[in-house]
Amino acid sequence: MNSLRPLVELLKALAHPVRLRILALLRDGELCVCQVAEILRLAPSTVSEHLTDLRRAGLVQERKVGRWVHVALTDAAASRSVLESLWPLMASAAAELDRDQAHAREVRCSATAPVPCFDPVADPV
């Protein structure tokens, strides 16, 4: 039964609409956790919990930039194949996901500029 644990964690991670929206957001590149929270209009702590599930399942990776945590889809081959098979299944939610992507383009960090994230303490969601 322990050999099924990774598959169970993966399927559990995919079984929530917020986590699916996060994966779709990250399809176009990394975002700061605070940006994901702003786009989805959720508390940063809620987003962090969802990201923990996605990271545990091997679907996302994190990198710290100063006090900011940036997340991106993982480069692992097994995860890439799962994600590639997931995208067509999410087509029925295209309108909602397109709205998320449009908002993401507005807040996405520039690779050449300092991280323009808001401070969740000073600017609560």
The third-level CATH classification (topology) of the domain covering 2-105 is Arc Repressor Mutant, subunit A (1.10.10)
Tell me how far apart the terminal alpha carbons of the chain are, to the nearest angstrom.
Answer: 41
The pLDDT value given to residue 121 = 42
Q: What is the pTM of this model?
A: 0.82
Average pLDDT over residues 22-27: 96
Beta bridge partners of 65: 68
Q: CA–CA distance from 40 to each of 6, 72, 82, 125 (Å)?
A: 27, 16, 23, 10
pLDDT surpasses 60 at 115: no
Residues 6+ apart with CB under 8 A from 14: 20, 57, 86
Which has more confidence, 19 or 105?
19
Beta bridge partners of 29: none
CA–CA dist 79, 106 (Å, integer): 27
pLDDT surpasses 80 at 25: yes
